[in-house]
Amino acid sequence: MAAHRCRNLACLLLLFLSVFLVTMSQETTLGHEQHATAVGDPQTGAETKHTAEKPRVEEKRWEETKVKATTQASDTAVLTKTQVNEDFQEELVIRPLHSGDIYASFQFRTVWETDFMKGNKVSHYRLFPKSLGQVISKFSVRELHISFTQGYWRTMQWGQPFIPSPPGAELWVWFQDSVTDVDATWKELTNVLSGIFCASLNFIDSTNTLQPSASFKPLGIGNETDHRFLRYATLPREIVCTENLTPWKKLLPCGSKAGLAVLLKSEKLFHSSFHSQSVHIRPVCQDRQCKSSSWELRQALNVVFDLHTSGQSKREWSLFKMFSRTLTEACPLASSSKIYIDVTDNPQEEQFELSPATPLLSQAVVLGDRRTFSVYDLTQQVTFGTVRSLNLMIRWKSSEGDMLRPLLHAERYVAGYGLQTGEIHTLMYNNHPFRSFPVLLLDSVPWYLRLYIHTLKVISKGKDNNPSYIHYQPSKDRERPHLLEMLLQLPPHSVTEVTVQFERALLKWTEYTPDPNHGFYVGSSVISSLVPSTVAMETNITMEQPLFSSFFPCKEESSYFARVYTEPLLVNLPTPDFSMPYNVICLTCTVVAVGYGSLYNLLTRSFQVEEPNPGLAKRIANVIRRMRGVPPL
Amino acid sequence: MGLLSDPNRRQALIKLLTRLNAPICFVCYFAGVAWFMGLAFEPFTLRTYMSENAMGSTMVEERFPAGERALATGREFAAHKKKVGGMPVDWLVKTMQARGLEVFTQSFSRTLPFPDENTERYVVKGTNVYGILRAPRAPRTEALVLSAPCTPGDNNNQAVGLLLGLAHYFRNQVYWAKDIIFLVNEHDLIGMQAWLEGYHHTNVTGMDWSPLQGRGGSIQAALSLELSSDVVTSLDIVLEGLNGQLPNLDLANLFYAFCQKIGVLCTIQGKLQRNDWDSASGYNHAVQTMMLMVMKQASGRPWGDHGLFLRYHIEAATVKGVNSFRHYKTDATTIGRLLEGMYRKLNNLLERLHQSYFFYLLPSLSHFVSIGYYMPAFGLLAVILLLRALDLWVQLSAQPSRTEDGVAGTEQSNPGVLSVLTPLVISHLTGAALYMLPVRFQEVAVEHFPVSETEAVVLTAIAVYTAGLALPHNTHRLLSGEGTEMGWRVLKLVALLYLAVLLGCTAVINFSLGFILALTLVPAAAYVTPHVPKALSAFFLVALSPACTLLFSVFFFQELQEMPVSFQDGWLLYLSVIAQGMLDHYLYGSLVFPLVALLVYPCWLLFWNILFWK
């Protein structure tokens, strides 16, 4: 899925042709829908015809921008060669949620056709951040995914996110197969990233690093799937805040000066129910034949604003209310800059009202569903209207807060009481009415919870559910965590429960954290799955798609890839009372000294009845006798 | 410890201890009792103070405004409760959802081992409703619980109203770092037990419950709210939980601190604090408060819905609104502000409450007695047992030396093993019968006697208990030879050490129970020999047996609560207390009934056996 940037006429022609094809296909699908609705209601039929024409208008505009981009490229072509192959796109998706909350997802993508490997020293950077480029070349990184999340994504209320992430920090990296000492490289890489993102990634060590065998496959191109070159780690305790946002924003070509990034103000972003920011680097194909590859840097930021805590009486959202900024321009470096509003559930504006209205509609297949979006193209001056600023408004009309029933969701908890043993329960729900689907469960448990793997039970619908694949790596104390990977088939409309018992280890006293009574974190389980899709998925990854629908590559049409993270666990370990070490030392010393000493005495001494002491008179007599030199009495 | 390794001095010490054994025992006993009574004297106790830093200096503001609205919600709840004739589940679900909570329900059912006549229930079916306020940007690892029981009749509607009002107000705040679970539980303790077992996915008591759908991670603290009037004169905090467990003292401190800050009268054991500690009546008041706590703790039952949380290492307390005839009244808004303040401070917690004491007695809310101060009182009683055991040991080891030249010495000690083992086994079998029979044979008893199930259970228990008194005869029938002088000494030595260990362990877990048992059992154990006047001693021994201890405790408790009862009523109360104690064991896993039946009672039987030694 590379950008349509051309350098010669042949390419341009090809592009026209493909765009034309896309338009045709969209028109045909729309045509079907139009027919269906037209039968139901002739009045709306007319309207749909109206909307059916809109995409064509929009497509025309896309064409225009393409031409414009090409001319821009030819203008700058006099500069260096490498600059030409760079492309930057930015987009914001806003999805009003049933609960009245609002989900905003930013994605920024930089694609650069270059080669960091094979001793090729890249020193000229334009859009691609130099700090990350150096990381890629120095550590021979093939793929890098890092996310920082504050909060837990509530699948039951919000549905699936575009890019899922677990609470805390998550980092997974595929190294090139040329790397000889992967562990050392990984260690160094985490320390470097820790500096770049101002995060405690340096706490990643062998006790929380995993090598999953199946759950994390490369998302970019590449056939190498030997998991020796994969490292995965999570830090569930990591707190994400402004100091992580600032370095993240600095990686953007426009910084937070222009474009969509002006909305990223920390005082609002961290006044929300959920905040997640991530960076994904991977090699991608440039065209359909995949003859040449380029590097893609995706920066994503997801945030969910809460209706209740925003302290408003009316159910109303606007860009200004969410971000305390409005938009005035696109990032000048961006080839595309768009805002998508999900209006699928709102075809007749019966749920919410959107202003200013936009003539552009777009459809995309995302997460197994065909969604309709209103599109605002920021590269067009007309979008900003006469006031030269765009402040989108969403006014809710109805209010309903029912729970969703997403096809796949999961939860996890610790059962039992007391500080000796416990049981981890992981529940996975398949809410599909008639189709079963496979999931890969990845569980990583720190070594200080000693799993009793013989108690592992997988039960769905009251029956044992035998995993078709199990990869278990036992922990080593103070060296590596437990790793449990299972391939399970979730029966339709069922709950599958995975339980395993554990024992809590007593740590050495220096191994406790400064706040041991808070508890110890166990990272989220990762559930990766191919969920049955309701519409045909787009398998052509090079086709022009909105960014939010093109993150996970899709291999088949009937299902889509989804990843679900469970909540992390907080487990209390047996903790000594650190507040009275003095008392403890005194007591143990006394007990040892008194108890041991006297026992030792009693055991080793031979007791003899002492002769009775001579009387005082006798003693005096003896003294006198000694003075006289006579033997004593 | 040169004292012990020097044989002469050791001899002297032992001689002293055996010669002055009886006076020392007397002194220890009275010193123990005096020490205990001294604990309530204010100059001997410490002032309470907040140990937890996260709750101490941090400032919170209380702004809850909507007390009147909460009361209106409470009235609405009452109307729906009356209409449905039980818990208005649908209404609660809808109301909680409207307040922006994630709402879940849990149904449960439980058949009691025998009908509970106090609350008139046998087969219990119910539903718990709870809503979770998800803290923004929190990963669902920690939670706080606020619960209000849905009780039949007109009780506790205001508590549910206030709970919903607080939920509404809390939902609009941004500062929450922990999820807050608002729970309305049906059938008070049984519902709470079902919810807690469901939340932690354990099954201790064989209850049926449906699994929970939503959770908030590990619960850090919980408050249970009981409020039955629109205005209150004072708030009472109840701390005693299952098996005499207590929440961390910081929770009580927090409550006290906010009562002081907001200006609400607060009580413990229903007793206001008094400042005149130097007067006799002031001291009397403190003793009363402390004795009430000791009695409640010794009973081992949960004295409020919070009591069941403690098993799961969740600090919890019940806050009760009391409306008496005092002039000074507090409205619902103020109570709401108080709870808001407490939750905001609990929300600030970085670690579980662990800084302050878990073992304490409270003669008033502002003063406490820590374990280091009250344990000597028990130690002084327990040391009597050890002194008596030492005395016997010396006697036993002295005897063989006297008969060293003869063969009689070795012969005499041989039947000792059997003569000790037989009573030990038989008394424990009686104990096991006391534990098992009452519930097992209730049907049989109901068939043959004109009594209800509950009466049948209690009367069977009393019958088995009394039948155990025939033990000496049975033991002697089983034993071939005559009991020897040495035999009873060995048996008494074993029984004394057994009792010492038993009481010691009990006192560590539940000081009050251990102390009350020691108070009665220690004199009996120290005094009894086969050579004392039989009839008088038998009466004395029965009067000091565990069952009579319970009877006295019932009267004493009523006296402390300033509700004295006649002997007739007291007897009925006594029977219901026995039934309640058994139910507590079967429903919530209280350990007092099995402890008494399986260990304390057999131990007492050993002494009874010694009295009738032939």
Q: Which domains does chain A have, with CATH numbers?
A: 82-396 (no CATH), 408-571 (2.60.40.740), 582-628 (no CATH)
pLDDT over 50 (residue B569): yes
pLDDT band at A118 (very low <50, low <70, confident <90, very high): low
pLDDT for residue B399: 64
Min mean pLDDT across A62-76, B6-20, B198-212 is at A62-76
Distance from CA of B56 to the nearest CA of A (A): 17
pLDDT for residue A552: 83
Residue-wise pLDDT for B423-463, tens only, equals 888 889 999 999 998 888 888 888 888 888 888 888 889 99
pLDDT band at A490 (very low <50, low <70, confident <90, very high): very high
pLDDT over 80 (residue A545): no
pLDDT for residue B400: 57
* Strand-pair partners of A408: A430
> What counts of helices (H) and strands (E) characterise chain A?
12, 26
Min mean pLDDT across A234-243, A289-298, A601-610, B116-125 is at A601-610
pLDDT for residue A39: 37
Q: Could you tell me which residue, A54 or A443, shows the higher pLDDT?
A: A443
Among positive and negative, which fits the CA dihedral A532, A536, A537, A540? positive
Distance from CA of B137 to the nearest CA of A (A): 4
pLDDT for residue A403: 64
The closest of B123, B120, B107 to B185, measured between CA atoms, is: B107
pLDDT for residue A546: 82
* Distance, CA of A540 to CA of A555 (rounded, Å): 9
Min mean pLDDT across A235-239, B476-480, B536-540 is at B476-480
Residue-wise pLDDT for B261-318, tens only, equals 999 999 999 888 888 888 889 999 999 999 999 999 999 999 999 999 999 999 999 9
Contact A306 B136 (CB under 8 A): yes
Residue-wise pLDDT for A325-369, tens only, equals 899 889 999 999 999 998 887 777 777 888 888 778 888 888 888
Min mean pLDDT across A603-617, B96-110, B540-554, B597-611 is at A603-617
Hey, is the C-beta of A415 within 8 angstroms of any chain B C-beta? yes
Question: Hey, which residues 242-271 in chain A have their CB within 8 Å of chain B?
Answer: 270-271
Helix, strand or coil, per DSSP, at residue A276 = strand
Contact A417 B139 (CB under 8 A): no
Contact A151 B136 (CB under 8 A): yes
| E strands, A343-379, in order | 352-355, 361-366, 369-377
What count of CB pairs under 8 Å joins A to B?
107
Question: Hey, which residues 374-413 in chain A have their CB within 8 Å of chain B?
Answer: 401, 403, 411, 413
Residue-wise pLDDT for B62-80, tens only, equals 899 988 999 999 999 999 9
Q: What is the DSSP string of B446-486?
A: HHHSS--HHHHHHHHHHHHHHHGGGHHHHHHHH-SSPPPHH
pLDDT for residue A310: 66
Q: Could you tell me which residue, A79 or B565, shows the higher pLDDT?
A: B565
pLDDT over 80 (residue A66): no
pLDDT over 70 (residue A43): no
Min mean pLDDT across A117-121, A138-142, A279-283, B154-158 is at A117-121
Q: Above pLDDT 70, what percent of chain A?
A: 82
Residues of A in contact with B1 (CB under 8 A): 594, 597-598, 601
* Distance, CA of A88 to CA of B376 (rounded, Å): 77
Contact B136 A411 (CB under 8 A): no
Min mean pLDDT across A84-93, B172-181, B249-258, B479-488 is at B479-488
Contact B139 A168 (CB under 8 A): yes
Question: Hey, which residues 470-529 in chain A have their CB within 8 Å of chain B?
Answer: 515-519, 521
Highest mean pLDDT among B288-302, B391-405, B461-475, B486-500: B288-302
Hey, is the C-beta of A236 within 8 angstroms of any chain B C-beta? yes
pLDDT over 50 (residue A44): no
* Distance, CA of A423 to CA of A444 (rounded, Å): 14
Nearest residue in chain B measured CA to CA from A594: B1
Q: Which residues of B touch A (CB under 8 A)?
A: 1, 4-5, 7-8, 97, 100, 102, 134, 136-142, 171-174, 200-202, 215, 217-218, 311-313, 350-352, 354-355
pLDDT for residue A229: 92
Average pLDDT over residues A163-190: 93
pLDDT for residue A510: 84
pLDDT for residue A602: 78
- The per-residue pLDDT of chain A, averaged, comes to 81
* Segment holding A342, helix H or strand E: strand A336-342
Q: Could you give the C-alpha distances from A444 to A215, A506, B200, in angstroms and in order?
A: 12, 19, 21
* Segment holding B46, helix H or strand E: strand B46-47
* Strand-pair partners of A612: none
Q: Could you tell me which residue, B301 or B403, shows the higher pLDDT?
A: B301
* Segment holding B130, helix H or strand E: strand B121-133
pLDDT for residue A11: 42
Helix, strand or coil, per DSSP, at residue B333 = helix
Out of A274, A515, A601, whose CB is closest to B350? A515
Q: Which domains does chain B have, with CATH numbers?
A: 11-40+373-398+416-612 (no CATH), 53-365 (3.40.630.10)
Residue-wise pLDDT for B24-46, tens only, equals 999 999 999 999 999 999 888 99
* Distance, CA of B552 to CA of B540 (rounded, Å): 14
pLDDT over 80 (residue B224): yes
pLDDT over 70 (residue B498): yes
Residues of A in contact with B142 (CB under 8 A): 570
Average pLDDT over residues B90-115: 91
Backbone angles phi, psi at A556, to 5 degrees: -135, 160
Contact A569 B217 (CB under 8 A): yes
Residues of B in contact with A518 (CB under 8 A): 350-352
Residue-wise pLDDT for A388-417, tens only, equals 888 888 887 766 556 677 889 999 999 999
Residue-wise pLDDT for B336-349, tens only, equals 999 999 999 999 99
Residues of B in contact with A419 (CB under 8 A): 313
Hey, is the C-beta of A598 within 8 angstroms of any chain B C-beta? yes
Q: What is the DSSP string of A188-257?
A: HHHHHHHHHHTS-GGG--TTTEE--SSS---SSS-----GGGEEEEEETT----HHHHHHHHHTSTTTTT
Average pLDDT over residues A368-373: 85
Q: Above pLDDT 70, what percent of chain B?
A: 94
Residues of A in contact with B215 (CB under 8 A): 411, 413
pLDDT for residue B481: 58
Enter the tokens of residue B233.
């004169």
Average pLDDT over residues A29-43: 38
pLDDT for residue B72: 94
Q: Could you tell me which residue, A496 or A617, shows the higher pLDDT?
A: A496
Contact B100 A308 (CB under 8 A): yes
Enter the tokens of residue B289.
């408060």
CA angle A385, A339, A167 (to 5 degrees): 145
pLDDT for residue A312: 62
Nearest residue in chain B measured CA to CA from A580: B355
- The per-residue pLDDT of chain B, averaged, comes to 88
Hey, is the C-beta of A307 within 8 angstroms of any chain B C-beta? yes
Out of B7, B97, B200, whose CB is closest to A417? B200
Highest mean pLDDT among A98-107, A199-208, B4-13: A199-208
CB-based contacts of B454, cutoff 8 Å, min separation 6:
B114, B115, B116, B117, B579
Q: Could you tell me which residue, B472 or B329, shows the higher pLDDT?
A: B329
Q: Could you give the C-alpha distances from A547 to A345, B80, B157, B352, in angstroms and in order?
A: 21, 51, 53, 44
Out of A154, A519, A598, whose CB is closest to B218? A519
pLDDT for residue B474: 64
Asked if A527 and A153 touch (Cβ cutoff 8 Å), the reply is no
pLDDT over 90 (residue B412): no
